[in-house]
Structure 1
């Protein structure tokens, strides 16, 4: 942690104004990146996908629920796991609060995982969530959007994640202790755990045609991880030397 001197008010204000200029520059850069993101060319989706949802069988078009835009959070929850990923769970803790605002701004938020619907429903009940969550167990959706991989790909070193092959922590051998620990909390082994990964994909429906407009993975999800945005503004910052977070019902009472 950075050591700090105690300053007088005028010194603190001078330092804060210097930081304000840097924050303004970052905001302007973030705005420009957002414009670049929205200017990406579209990929037409002609492949059919069928999902299992609380309302029954649904197509990709059905997931829009009448909106023209769909944001999918690829939630790590493999078919044979006992629980969802703790990191994805921490991110998803914020979904219910803003999903209603998105839905009233022509944007549908949907989580998608490969776990069977019954597991998703049970886990959602445990966590106290109400946002929509679809199972992609019976289709190739997660594989096509590079968040799920086969054992063969894993054995052959053929996993391409975050637009590159290899180099991600989940591809390292031997398996890092943090990855093995997370896998254990999900009731699975490291091999199964690393075949499903987090991501977020955006889609547009226009004149009956669905387009894929954007996907992001790994650290690209940091901006969606609401708790970290608060920690970055706390006096000690993220202040972490390892895995410190838990599922919301696993913390000791304080």
Structure 2
């Protein structure tokens, strides 16, 4: 149980605790400034032109990459991994984790930015997953254009965040990232990193015997929770469970 887990040393507020926080704050501020510097360098990267007419599929049928801007100047596209023909249970845990974080587009819209999910699988199948999850961001299938939009060194089949700029009817790619770079869209990990037990994942540098059984991926033990829940159903991304509990269907077939 969590009550049996190791804890940090207990000390007084006036000296040791506040002194240690103050020392850490110096490093945090340096980290923030370095992040600002990296963002400044990102704004100065060269860019490449991409095919504005690259086909996508959305709720109204065929459209293009240019259409996905919704008339705004910039577009951030999250490329959602997809296991074609697989059940909801077998879809990507990491992409589900990241996509679940996005809820409010108005702040991006105020900066002339559209955010959209570009699924790497077929539209109808993946849209049923979107509906099961209750997501309402723009959702398109980019399956037909992956060879164009995710050219090497990008790798179709991996999660990606890609930033685009529109100038008239021309589209330019200005930045892309993958793997842990997509944590830019993930607030939960950032909040976990502020806690004493962190993400509770095995790879983290934590003191001996710190809790480390959790992950956003499915495990043989089922949906990871802490403390573990006896007889918790196995083998799904964490956000599935409350949706199933609310009676939503996760059937991705046409039926």
Q: How far did 1:71 drift?
A: 0.3
Structure 1 residue runs of 4 or more that deviate by more than 4 Å after TM superposition: none
Of the candidates 35, 50, 69, which is equivalent to residue 30 of structure 1? 35
Of the candidates 51, 64, 67, which is equivalent to residue 62 of structure 1? 67
Distance 1:80 1:215 in 2: 28
TM-score (norm 1): 0.74
Structure 2 SS opposite 1:73: strand
Q: How far did 1:234 drift?
A: 1.2
Q: What runs of 5+ residues in structure 2 fail to find an aligned partner?
A: 203-212, 217-236, 246-255
Structure 1 SS opposite 2:35: helix
Q: How far did 1:225 drift?
A: 1.9
Question: What does residue 226 of structure 2 align with?
Answer: none
Q: How far did 1:224 drift?
A: 2.0
Structure of larger gyration radius = 2
Question: What does residue 95 of structure 1 align with?
Answer: 102
Structure 1 SS opposite 2:241: coil
Distance 2:95 2:51 in 1: 29
For this pair of structures, how many residues does the alignment match? 205
Structure 1 SS opposite 2:63: strand
Asked if the contact 2:52/2:65 (under 8 Å) is kept, the reply is: no
CA RMSD of aligned residues (A): 2.2
Distance 2:142 2:159 in 1: 14
- What is the 5 A alignment of 1:87-236? 87-97=94-104, 99-139=105-145, 140-144=147-151, 146-148=154-156, 196-236=157-197
Of the candidates 44, 51, 76, which is equivalent to residue 49 of structure 2? 44
Q: What runs of 5+ residues in structure 1 fail to find an aligned partner?
A: 149-195
TM-score (norm 2): 0.74
